Amino acid sequence: MRPKTCLLAAAAAGATAVVAGAIAAHGGAADPAAAVQTAVRYHMYHALALLGVAALAAREPNASFAAPTVCFVAGIVLFSGGIYLRAAIGPAVPALIVPAGGLAFIAGWLALAWCALRKGAS
């Protein structure tokens, strides 16, 4: 299988996983411990995604992987960081930070798909 096809499949799987996770989370109870576990999981998943993007950028130095990188980092800070803060200090943290982070994660996966579709990705 071509690397471009694998990258597109990974991007599609990542984006749909974030969407499915958001749908599942909004149907459940607001358990702070479970929310922190979810934040840690998404934090680690996207840290690994950043590692993959770094490997791609090293392999294709002429291709720009800035958009997925920025989106994944923003997602970690907003989504996971927002949940960590809400667990630590309570509802003083604006609730919209967390969904904005989820949208940043989805945008990162879509940006990665865009990178695969561009001519630079092989």
State the Cα–Cα distance between residues 122 and 108, nearest whole angstrom.
Answer: 19
Residue 122 resides in a domain: no
CB 115 within 8 A of CB 7: yes
Q: Does residue 29 surpass a pLDDT of 90? A: no
Rounded to whole angstroms, the maximal C-alpha distance in the chain is 49
Summarize pLDDT for 73-82 with one digit per residue, the tens. Answer: 999 999 999 9
Range of the structural domain that residue 33 is part of: 3-117
Task: Read off the DSSP letter of residue 80.
Answer: I
Give the pLDDT confidence of 57-94 residue by residue, as tens digits: 898 888 889 999 999 999 999 999 999 998 898 888 88
User: Is residue 74 one of the residues assigned to a domain?
Assistant: yes
Domain for residue 44, yes or no? yes
Given a cut of 70, whether residue 101 has pLDDT beyond it is yes
Query: Looking at residue 110, what is its pLDDT?
Result: 96
Predicted model pTM = 0.88
